Amino acid sequence: MTRIIKVKSGSIFEEKASYSRLVAVDNWIHVSNTAGRNPDTKLIAEDVIEQAEQVFDNIERALAAVDATLADVVCSRVFIQDPADVPRVMDYIGTRFRGIDPACTATCPPLGSTVYKVELEVTAYRGASQAEVVQINLGQ
């Protein structure tokens, strides 16, 4: 039988909009678009890279709740408020996903508030970090 786990982070936005931070359906894990607000202090840094660091901390915390890690991420969607921040943010994301190499989409839409400079949504597959990986390079 299919098992669904829904994880709440305690964000007031999850309650207002009636969504979960993470939903795991068997081994598939969907993490909602996540901002860089510290869940303990409720503060958000002004610097885009500090926000990106907190985004990853928040996502890792949610993944850990269902026995998964960043290494299980197979797809990411990056939302960056200011196109000028794209190079710095993507360089930072590269440091966090190096060797994991998930599929990735990056875009620069308006976010829910100007205070948010970067947000990230990921899909993971529990156990992907232990899977045999075959890499095919088409651009050579």
Residue 135 placed within a domain: no
Q: In which order are the strands placed within the sheet that holds 103-107? A: 4-7, 22-25, 28-34, 118-125, 73-80, 103-107
- Widest CA span in the chain: 49
In a domain, 38, yes or no: yes
pLDDT digits (tens, 9 = 90+) for 11-26: 888 889 999 999 999 9
Q: What is the pLDDT of residue 82?
A: 97
pLDDT band at 10 (very low <50, low <70, confident <90, very high): confident
Phi, psi of 7 (to 5 degrees): -110, 130
Rounded distance between C-alpha atoms, residue 12 and residue 2, angstroms? 29
Instruction: Using a cut of 0.85, tell me whether the model's pTM lies above it.
Output: yes
d(CA 110, CA 134): 36
Q: What's 42's domain CATH number?
A: 3.30.1330.40
Beta bridge partners of 83: none
Overall domain count for the chain? 1
The 10s digit of each residue's pLDDT in 32-43 is 999 999 989 999
For 22, the domain range is 4-130
Residue 136 lies in a domain: no
Tens-digit pLDDT profile for residues 115-135 = 999 999 999 999 999 999 999
- Confirm whether 140 is domain-assigned: no
Model pLDDT, residue 13: 85
